[in-house]
Structure 1
Amino acid sequence: MPDSVLVGLSGSLRRGATNRKLMREAARLFGPARFTEADLNLPLYNGDDEEAHGIPAPVQDLADLIAGADAVVISTPEYNKGPSGVLKNALDWISRTKGNPWAGKPVAVMSATAGRAGGERAQMILRGFMVPFQPRLTIGPEMHLADSSNQFDEDGRLTSPLYTKTLTTLMENLRAEIAR
C-alpha cells in the first residue's frame, strides 16, 4: 500500500524528543506511505473558551488530519506514571470536534522513556484514553523503549536489533490492520 496515509502523534513537544524519533522510525519501518507528523502544540482545553470561540483552527486541522489518515501511530512519554499532558490535552480537544475521526481507525501505540520499563504504564493508560473513540488498536507487540536517549544513532535509527524487530512487527501489524 504505497499510497497509505500515516499520521504520527508524539506526546512530547521537544524537537529532539526520543518519542519523536521513535514515531519517525515507526513511519520509516511502516514502509511506503505519505507520513505527516501532527502538531500537538495546542491551547489548553477550556470549555468557556470553546463556548465563546468554538474549536480552534489547529484543533480542527488535527482532527481532519486524523480523519483523513489510513492509520495513526502515537508515541507517548511517561511523565509521573502516565501519558503527557500534551497528549491528553490533544485527545480532549479532538473529542470536542464534530464526528469522531478515530472511529474504526487503525492505531498503534508506543512509548519511549528514560526509565527501565519504557513507558509501560503510560501506554496502558493511553489505551484506556482511546476506548471512548473506538479506534482499532493494534495490540502488539508492545513497543516500550527503555533508556531511550541511548537507543538511536545519529540518523535517528534504532540501534538495538530487538527493538527494531519489535517495532517492525508492530508496523507490519498496523499495515495489516489497514488492509483488514
Structure 2
Amino acid sequence: MKIRSQSLYQRSRWLAKPMHSGAYRPWLIERGSLTARLQAKTKGFHVQALTVHNDLPCRDEAHLLGLVSHQHALLREVMLMDQQQPLVFAHSVLPHKSLRGVWRGLGRLGNRPLGAALFADPRVIRTPLQYKKISKHHALYMRAAKNLASLPPSLWARRSIFELNSAYKRQSIMVTEVFLPAVLGLN
C-alpha cells in the first residue's frame, strides 16, 4: 500500500490533522490497516454488516470521487465489533465504475472486512487521511451512534480515498471511519 501525497480538499471542512483529539489521536493517525490493529487488540473482532444499498453519496463525497451530481454509488455501512461491543462505524462509498476487475467483489463482502482486501494489494494507493469531529446533527454521527447506550456530545471520524490503477483505468473508493468511545478501552 502506498500513500499518495496531495493537497487535501478544503471545501468540506475536514482537517489535515486531528487537532485536539486527545485519546482518539493514536487511533485516528494510524496509517496501517485499522482492521489488523483491531484484530490484534481484541478477543472477538468481527464485522457486522448494517447496510449495503445503491444511493446518492453526500455532495462532498461525490465531488472527491469525481462523480457527477445525482450519480448513484454503492454505499456500505458496517460496525467493527469486539464481541458485542461496537468500536468503529465504517461508511464506504463504492462508485459503480470502480467495482470492476479485482474490485468486482467489494460490493458483496458481507461480514468480511473491506480493509483486508485493500491493504493486501500493493497496487492500492491511499490518499492522506482527513479528520473531523462530528456532532449529534451530522448524518454519520446519527448512524454511528444508533446502537450506543449513552451518546457522547461528539465523535471523531477520519476518511481517505483508496485508488487502484488497473486495466479499467483509475478506480477509487472512499472509506470513512467513525470512532466510538469503546475503542479507547483498547489502548
TM-score by length of 2: 0.27
Higher relative contact order (CA 8 A, sep 6+): 2
Q: Which has the higher strand share?
A: 2
Q: TM-score, normalised by structure 1?
A: 0.27
